[in-house]
Amino acid sequence: MIAELIRPSLLEFIKKRMPEWDGKGFICFDDLGEFRKDYVKEVLQDEIGELSALDHEVIESLQQHEILSSDISKQFETKLTFGERLSDRIASFGGSWKFLITFFSILVVWIIINGVLLMIHAFDPYPFILLNLILSCLAAVQAPVIMMSQNRVEARDRLRAENDYKVNLKAEL
């Protein structure tokens, strides 16, 4: 690469490291990549202090001209087990209007059948103790399923935030 095309701040950094080089002529891409990596590392250490593993990953990708952006959702979905996918589906159904309408309809039908139609021989007379037991069991099962799903959403968001940080840092550099 022609030295005149190199950014002035990087050119000064190279001259500090290689005082015998006059800053004219050519520099190979491998050496330029090494100098760029060292320059970015030095600038980040001056600004941030200690570099994290993510910062080192971004610096390496700069040297190797790698693309950092990726589809985190697709990567995350391939790692899910059957149970995790099932709990996500149950949680999404449990938080939908379809579930609320179905649930409310079942409650109304249960109360009508046991409170009005089968008043004398009801299988669950008022105060509907069997219905209360079923609702308690549903809540006991549904709460952990929703929490598992929320934990996976949080992990996916954390991966997405790390990816955004790496892409933004590389764009800044």
Instruction: Look at residues 66, 89, 104 and tell me which one is the last residue of a structural domain.
Output: 66
Backbone angles phi, psi at 82, to 5 degrees: -60, -45
Q: Which one, of 131, 171, 169, lies nearest residue 54 by Cα?
A: 169
Residue 120 sits in the same domain as residue 148: yes
What residue type is assigned to position 142 of the chain?
Q
Residue 146 sits in the same domain as residue 81: yes
Residue 57 sits in the same domain as residue 94: no
- 128 by Cβ neighbours in 10 Å (0-12 / 13-18 / 19+) ranks as middle
Residue 141 lies in a domain: yes
The residue ranges of the chain whose pLDDT is under 70 are: 62-71, 173
Residue 78 sits in the same domain as residue 161: yes
pLDDT of residue 65: 60
Residue 45 lies in a domain: yes
CA angle 64, 70, 71 (to 5 degrees): 170
Tally of domains within the chain: 2
C-alpha pair distances (Å), 10 with each of 18, 26, 28: 12, 14, 14
Residue 27 sits in the same domain as residue 52: yes
Instruction: Look at residues 37, 66, 95 and tell me which one is the last residue of a structural domain.
Output: 66
Residue 82 sits in the same domain as residue 43: no
pLDDT of residue 66: 62
Q: Which structural domain range is residue 137 located in?
A: 72-167
pLDDT of residue 64: 66
Q: Which one, of 100, 101, 131, 99, lies nearest residue 114 by Cα?
A: 131
Residue 29 sits in the same domain as residue 101: no
Residue 172 lies in a domain: no
Token pair belonging to 6: 């190199």
